[in-house]
Amino acid sequence: MRKIINKPENFVDEMIEGILLAHPDQVKTPGEDPRILVRADAPVAGQVGIVTGGGSGHLPLFKGYVGQGLASGVAIGNVFSSPSSQQVFEATKAVDGGRGVLYLYGNYGGDVFNFDLAADLAELEDIETRTVLGRDDVASQPKERKHDRRGVAGIFFAYKAAGAAAERGDSLEEVAAVAEDVVEHTATMGIGLSPTILPTTGEPSFDVPAGEMEVGIGIHGEPGIHRGPLETADEITDRLVSALVADLGITAGDRVAVLVNGLGATPLEELYVMYRRVHQLLADRGVTIERRYVGEYATSLEMAGASISLLTLDDARLALLDAPAASPFFQEV
């Protein structure tokens, strides 16, 4: 195992310490537990709070999206593990500005269980909560079961839109509706070329033989829908875009935002090769790309691979994407 770490058991806490030291003007810990981060000005009085959370190993997801115009706070678990319900509850209290708190996170069993418990604890403290789950991974379930899909990189769009709605003063119901609307119009599919190596064990989380690829792989190494010989960048992109267009029902005249996301070990140059093909494919279909994002938005440690997310746009969604936002890992003014 070749990793720049100290003791494996200290990996998560030392990483969080580094984020706090590097970005003291943007994030802070509200109490004794270092696994809870909130925006530096939290709580913001009169504004809906947004709490996210999940396992470590996915930077900038989840903790990287805490900041103005994005999430208000995050509860952080061990690598690929859920935070506790108490941690979620403490984050909830720390960001509550008196107008309730939205829980916005990926659709994974452990996270759902602990966030639901935290919502019960918040109710006892008279803090109103709502929950919206990121569920954009089209490979994880067929369209008729889309509410059971995993949440992956496309949740970035939901953070951006919900955070903008909270900043402009929307109510809890309105912020939740904005997040749900964006989730419903987002689809993602990824491809894996090599596994992650877990810091605690030094072992790969899954296996992809040399010269092969796995289409539809999850960000924890969950099995995809196709494994076979590695294809060219254009062939891979064709596969992914075709699935996303079909799932969202995209046709000529539609407007979209595109996210080409690296999973941790794929060079930015390769992501731009893929984006070039995405642009060609959508232009050929008469689809207008209004906004484009290329880089690492949701990773899986050092997994080689990439994902593509599409969000279908109307004027309201586009305005929310364009609203100012700033966090340690994302800035748009």
Cis before 60 (ω within 30): yes
Both tokens assigned to 74: 């995050």
Answer yes or no: pTM beyond 0.85: yes
pLDDT digits (tens, 9 = 90+) for 34-53: 999 999 999 999 999 999 99
pLDDT digits (tens, 9 = 90+) for 145-175: 999 999 999 999 999 999 999 999 999 999 9
Average pLDDT, the chain: 96
Indicate whether 26 pLDDT > 90. yes
Q: How far is CA 217 from the centre of its chain?
A: 15
Report yes or no: 333 and 228 within 8 Å, Cβ to Cβ.
no
> Residue 232 maps to which CATH number?
3.30.1180.20
d(CA 33, CA 87): 8
Specify whether 228 is located in the same domain as 80: no
Q: How far is CA 162 from the centre of its chain?
A: 13
Report yes or no: 273 and 233 within 8 Å, Cβ to Cβ.
yes
Among 184, 212, 229, identify where a domain stops. 184
Please give the tally of structural domains in the chain. 2
pLDDT average, residue stretch 94-105: 98
Indicate whether 219 pLDDT > 90. yes
pLDDT digits (tens, 9 = 90+) for 221-266: 898 999 999 999 999 999 999 999 999 999 999 999 999 999 999 9
Among 168, 184, 200, identify where a domain stops. 184
Specify whether 26 is located in the same domain as 173: yes
> Residue 13 maps to which CATH number?
3.40.50.10440
Plot region of 257 (φ>0 → left; ψ -120 to 50 → alpha; else → beta): beta
pLDDT average, residue stretch 189-207: 90
**What one-character DSSP code corresponds to residue 2?**
-
Specify whether 178 is located in the same domain as 73: yes
| Domain with 86 in it | 8-184
Residues 6+ apart with CB under 8 A from 309: 136, 152, 153, 154, 156, 157, 186, 187, 188, 244, 258, 259, 261
Report yes or no: 224 and 189 within 8 Å, Cβ to Cβ.
no
Residue 1: the pLDDT is 65
Residue 207: the pLDDT is 85
Question: What percentage of the chain reaches a pLDDT higher than 70?
Answer: 100
Specify whether 107 is located in the same domain as 45: yes
Among 145, 169, 184, identify where a domain stops. 184
Indicate whether 187 pLDDT > 90. yes
Indicate whether 284 pLDDT > 90. yes
Specify whether 80 is located in the same domain as 178: yes
Indicate whether 329 pLDDT > 70. yes
Q: Which residues are catalytic?
A: 58, 220
Residue carrying structure tokens 């010989």? 229
Residue 201: the pLDDT is 85
Strand 255-262 and strand 288-295: pairing? parallel
